[in-house]
Chain A
């Protein structure tokens, strides 16, 4: 079965550079979520999209932006990178059944960003 695909798997950037992370959700999944997991930390929700519109917003820095495209893939754009942005970035997708709340999430393998 197709899973959530994230690219690249690893990324090394210098301070003040920009980075773009990509996420390809499971086909027919209608919602995409982005999470940031710092070293030794739990994942923190950044932002989510439903049908290409922003659905919810978490602790996403102003330097970051994201969007979902017509083919449902999503990109997380990070500018003016700081050392503290070094983290594992997860994308997850879900299909929310109408009128039901017992849906799950499928996570991608993550992109490990290192800022030097």
Chain B
């Protein structure tokens, strides 16, 4: 079974509008972390936002917020006031359990912001 599922291969949004990128996850661990990364065409992996499984409030970082619904195992990324520079690939990732664990990534969503 897929650990991280991103069902939107591609998304379009108008500049200045908000957009939600979907992410669902599957784990039996009680302790886990959820991450969103942005990968522009240049290739680097840019950290956006983090949500811990025990965090009661949704994480926010500037224009990024994470809509964390633990019972539904979803961790959707909301980008407010989209900018042309937001056009990129977006990956949802999960670290399961505690200790020195690697990330498992979803298949990504390509976001295109239109003027």
Which residues in A have some Cβ–Cβ distance to B below 8 Å?
31, 33, 35, 41-45, 48, 50, 55-56, 58, 88, 90, 92, 94, 96, 101-102, 104-107, 109-110, 112
Contacts and interface: CB of A to CB of B under 8 A. Distances in A.
Interface of A is mostly: strand
24 contacts: A31-B100, A33-B102, A35-B102, A42-B106, A42-B108, A43-B45, A43-B91, A50-B100, A56-B101, A56-B102, A58-B102, A90-B45, A94-B100, A101-B33, A101-B95, A104-B47, A104-B50, A105-B35, A105-B47, A107-B37, A107-B45, A109-B43, A110-B43, A110-B45
Interface of B is mostly: loop
Contacts of A31: 100
Top 8 A-B pairs, shortest CB-CB distance? A107-B45, A42-B105, A45-B102, A101-B98, A109-B44, A31-B100, A102-B52, A43-B105
Contact of B100 (A41, A55, A88, A106): A55
Given A42-B107, A92-B103, A101-B31, 13 more contacts: A41-B107, A42-B108, A44-B105, A45-B102, A48-B100, A50-B100, A56-B101, A58-B102, A92-B45, A101-B95, A101-B98, A104-B35, A110-B45
Contacts of B98: 101
B101 to A, nearest CB: 7
Interface of B: 31, 33, 35, 37, 43-45, 47, 50, 52, 91, 95, 97-108
Nearest to A30: B100
Nearest to A44: B105
Given A42-B91, A42-B108, A45-B102, A102 B50 contact: yes
B47 A96 contact: no
A41 B105 CA distance: 10
A76 B51 CA distance: 31
A24 B15 CA distance: 38
Given A42-B108, A43-B91, A105 B43 contact: no
Nearest to B52: A102
Nearest to B110: A40
A48 B37 CA distance: 20
